[in-house]
Structures are given as structure tokens and as C-alpha cells.
Amino acid sequence: MPSNDLSVVKTTGVKWAYNGPDGEHNWSSSFPFCGGAFQSPIDFQTELLRYDPNLPPIQVQNYNLSTNEQLTLSNNGHSVQLSLPSHMYISSLPHRYSAAQLHFHWGSSDLLTGSEHTVNGKRFAGEMHIVHFNSEKYPNISMAVDKYDGLAVLGVFIEIGDFNPAFDRFFKFMNGIKYRDQKIQVPAFNIRTLLPARLDEYYRYDGSLTTPPCYPSVLWTVFRRPVTISRKQFLALATALYASHAQETATVPLHGNYRKPQLADNRVVLVSFKDGLHGILSAASPFQRKQVIQKLLVGDLADLADEGLHQLLPKLSSQPVQDKKWKKNKKGHWSQATQKEQWSKNKVPHNTGYSFSARKNVATPWYMGAFDTDKGMCFISLEENVVHQLERYHAKGLMVEALKEVVFPELNLRSYLHCRSDLDLQTIRKLIQGRSRDEAAELEQSLAEAMLKKMRRQINQHRNPNMKTTIGHPPATVPKDFSSALTYRRPQRVEWED
């Protein structure tokens, strides 16, 4: 029987933790997607939000389980997990997503904040994830986990407040799973009682698993309203469990099991609510976005430059562009300063879309079927193809960057067409590959001029802190050297520093 525990998916035999030498700063050395694109969790900053009036209330089916049914409560060394039957499902998404399991992330007795997602920097006491898989297309969660449309997760913020009898249905059995790999059977109950009363207010975006292997395969729905548990209930979760096995002499407490916020990667976050959010923008329609893609694929690029395609430019980062010279560290990861040199030296194909795949002698452009967002995309296959290609050039240290090159434009295009992302310049360039060089050059010049204007505007706002941006938020911090904007590189975080 396939396991519902995502921590064993392609992680068997590979140790990972949240802190220490196997902590999240080093996940990408064994799990390259953890350093890649469209990662989760993220901070729901107001400037990322887009109101979508077409988002329906979340509808869950068969959540009220019979008490005659038994569920498996387990400690997998990373979290508390409760198995769920697949006849539970979400009915308000494009596909039927059947339940697999739920688990928790939390802080510690000293730090009562441990949610993974945050709201304008605010971290809640904990967060519950109810994991579902696309049962219309895949037979089980193990087959779905690495597909771009494989998973849908309901996220619930937890804060400390009133005692919650629903959570005590299984919290009271916590002593039976004190150590890693311990499991017990518990009576089923109404899982709906674990969710907020209102299921019509939520954040929606495209993201990833928040634990290795970090596949960007998750459609996230995070409810706006938190649920409460008592301080005693929280401490039972934060102090009673161990990440180590019972036979180990040195016990390792299980707490602080949350991943830090990841880069937005030009994603937007759709929200189903407007109240309390001033100046929030509305999402463009999928039809409008398809028109933009169609123009990029077959339209007159010179006309597009005149029509103001620069409005598609991503928002400037709120963080200054990091310009540190990375070096190869002890763990063998390539630094920013050496990556270009290695690409050139090893003659690894660069900016080649799907050229890493086994599709030889096929003239079909990478974006064929761009409007068919149900087209398959398997991250395990992509990773294997990239590994094979890089090994040929003795350049496996470039794994993370190579996967970004392959995966980002495809994910960005899919997410853009579903209104959950802004169109990135890297993706625009992929779309216009093979077009007339003169037209493409004119479009590039238009984009460069628009970027320069944006940077100048940001600099003026930076010099005059009383100015506000168009949506009523403080201006972003602007790097001193804004000429680098003409290279169109998305700001990158220094990922390999200890």
C-alpha cells in the first residue's frame, strides 16, 4: 500500500532536519528542487494580493467520519501526522482532490510562533496542513506528489486562545507517539471541526511541498481566519514529542518544525476577500492573459513594444539585489561568481527550455500546448534528465540552477494563465525565442527603457519617503546600482551561505 507520508517520498536514506548540518539551508544539496522555483511557504504581503471575485467557497465532502472508522496517528520524526481516508475530498477545485493526511508545524515552549506561512510578517503559533491528491488523474499520493497538478493543500493558521475540543480528539493520544516512527490507531471524528467556521475567505497560490523533496506541485489554499487551541494544548504538542527513536540514548525534541518564507518568484496570491485590504488590485482574467501569450507567440513584437508590454514587467523586489561574490563552499555548491564561468567552461546548454529532456530531433517548440495547462509535467523525470545531462559535462554542482532554467518558465506560464503569477521576463524571453531578431531586439529595448524608468521612479520615492506607491504601500528599497536592471535577472537570494 502506498504511503501517505510525504517525508518518505524520495527521501528514504537521506537525512534532513530543520536545523543543524542537515537543516533547511542545506536541503538543496540532496533535494535540488528545494533551491528551485515556486517554493513554499511565502509571506502573504499585501502588495502580492489580487482579489478574484470568481473564487468559490471551499467545499469539502465526507469530512464527517464515522467513529467506527480508525485513523493512524503517527510521529514521523518531522511532525505529527493523521492518516485520512480518500473518500474525503475537495469538490470546489478544477479536479477532484482526495484527502491523504493532515499534519502540523509549530514553534516551541519558548517560542509560541511556528506557522509556515505568514501574513505581512506575522507568524502564528502553528499551522495545520490537510494534504489532498488529484485522484482524477493519479491513483495515489505517491504517484501525484511530483506532478505539477498533483496536490492541493488546505492550510489552517493556529493561534493560542480557547480550548478546542476537536483537536483534543487526537491530542489526547500524543503520549502513544512520543518517539519517531511510533504509530497508534485512534477513532475517527468530524474533520470539518478542525477547520475555521468560514471557508469562503482564503489565500490561493501555486507553490511547493514545504519539506524535502520540495516539488512545486501544490495548489495552496490557506484560510484567512485562524482556529484556536489552548496554551495547554499547544504545549502538549510542543513539548511531548521527540524527533529521535525510543532506543536512542540522546533524545532530540520535536519542535520548531517550520520552514522559513521563500521567494515570491513573481507569483501573486489570489484572495477571495476584499474587506480590510485597501488599494488591493483585481486579478486579470485568464482570457486577457491568453491574449498576451498569443501576441508574444505570433503577434508583431514591434507593435507590442509600442503598446506597452512593459506593464508586464515584474514588480521590483522589496529587497536589494544581492551582489555578493559566492565561492564554492565546503559542501561543493557553486557560488554566484562561478556559475556563469562553469556554464561556459562545461559547455552546458543554457536557456534551452526543454533541451535537457530526451526529446531528440523534435522541432516542436517548448511552449506548444501552452494553453493546455493539463499537459503532464513530472518533476522526477525532469530531475533525472537534468542529472544525466550535467553528469555528461561533469557539472552536477549546477543542478539547482539547471533545474530552474528548465522548470521556471513552464511553471510561470501555467501559473500566469491561471492568474496566480505575474509573467516573468525569463518566460517572455522563452516565448519569443525563434522570432524575428529585429522585432525581438526592439521589444527588448522597450523593456529595458521601461525598467530604467521604473528604477528611476523607485529611486525618487526612496529619496522622498513621504511618497507612496500606487497601491498605497511604502516604497521598496532600491539598490544603488540600478543599471544592472537591464540584464533582466530576477533578484536571487544568497542560498549557499551557512
Three-state DSSP string of 214-232: CCCCEEEEEECCCEEECHH
The CB-based long-range contact list for 246-250 (8 Å cut-off, 24+ gap) reads: 246/178, 246/179, 246/180, 246/182
For residues 238 and 106, is the Cβ–Cβ distance under 8 A?
A: yes
Check residue 23 and report its DSSP letter: S
CA distances from 342 to 35, 90, 338, 394, 396 (A): 18, 46, 6, 10, 11
Q: 147 pLDDT exceeds 90?
A: yes
H helices within 56-184, ranges in order? 141-144, 165-171
In the chain, % of residues over pLDDT 90: 54
Indicate the pLDDT class of residue 339, thresholds 50, 70 and 90: very low
pLDDT digits (tens, 9 = 90+) for 182-210: 999 999 999 999 999 999 999 999 999 99
Give all domains of the chain, ordered by start, each with its CATH number. Answer: 6-271 (3.10.200.10), 284-487 (no CATH)
> Residue for cell digits 490507531?
185
- C-alpha dihedral (394, 397, 401, 405), degrees to nearest 10: 20
State the catalytic residue, choosing from 78, 103, 132, 333: 78
| Maximum C-alpha span of the chain | 71
Gap between the Cα atoms of 50 and 273, Å rounded:
9
pLDDT per residue over 250-293, tens digit each? 999 999 999 999 999 999 999 999 887 777 888 888 888 898 88
CA 24, 25, 28, 29 dihedral sign is negative
Q: CA 451, CA 477: separation in Å to the nearest integer?
A: 16
Backbone angles phi, psi at 80, to 5 degrees: -90, 130
Distance CA 117, CA 222 (A): 8
Amino acid at site 82 = L
* Annotation marks residue 87 as catalytic: no
Number of H helices, E strands in the chain: 11, 17
If you count them, how many residues does the chain have?
498
The predicted model scores a pTM of 0.78
Q: How far apart are CA 45 and CA 271, in angstroms?
A: 12
Q: Which residue has the cell 491574449?
A: 291
pLDDT computed for residue 342 by the predictor: 45
Classify 28 in phi/psi space as left (phi over 0), alpha (psi -120 to 50) or beta: alpha
